[in-house]
Amino acid sequence: MAQIGNLGKLIIFEVSSKKVLTFDNMQRTVSGRWAQHEIIGKKPVSEFLGPGQQKVTLQIFVSAMHGVKPRKTIEKLEKAVEKGKHYPLVIGGKKVGKNEWAVESVSETWGEIIDNGKLLAAHLTLTLSEYK
């Protein structure tokens, strides 16, 4: 098994002969907070207030053909969102950011569904926000 990374114990990203659970198109946003002070007859003056909250978005493909139970994975992620859970995000053995990440939202697009409504595959978009 080759572990790519993890979001705490919530989800383990890995590749093996029995299971493939990876992500694509990770986007991370690091920003600052700024205030604009209006000056009569002049341009506004910008003031740096401090760092902003970081965000991460991951696209995840879950498939029964790759040894992952899509419905079970979706339910775990939904539960984390609704309970306000937060976890460290580790990729390649290194933490992403200095703090943990709150599971802010998960959106899902269901793919193949077979007999009796069994979900075979789904595309998920996971949004995380820095938790301090």
Q: At 98, which amino acid appears?
A: K
| Residue 88 structure tokens | 């460290």
pLDDT band at 102 (very low <50, low <70, confident <90, very high): very high
CB 121 within 8 A of CB 61: yes
pLDDT attached to residue 11 = 95
Q: What span, in angstroms and rounded, lies between the C-alpha atoms of 114 and 6? A: 30
**Could you tell me the pTM of the whole model?**
0.86
pLDDT attached to residue 115 = 83
Q: What span, in angstroms and rounded, lies between the C-alpha atoms of 19 and 96? A: 24
pLDDT band at 13 (very low <50, low <70, confident <90, very high): very high
Residue 112, pLDDT above cutoff 80: yes
pLDDT attached to residue 1 = 67
Identify the CA nearest to 109 among candidates 126, 93, 96.
126
pLDDT band at 116 (very low <50, low <70, confident <90, very high): confident
SS (H, E, C) 14-81: EECCCCEECEEEEEEECCEEEEEECCCCCCCEEEEEEECCCEEEEEEEEEHHHCCCHHHHHHHHHHHH
Which percentage of the chain shows pLDDT scores above 70?
A: 99
User: Each residue of 45-94: pLDDT tens digit?
Assistant: 999 999 999 999 999 999 999 999 999 999 999 999 999 999 999 999 99
The arithmetic mean of pLDDT across residues 9-27, rounded, is 94
CB 21 within 8 A of CB 68: yes
Residue 132, pLDDT above cutoff 90: no
SS3 117: helix
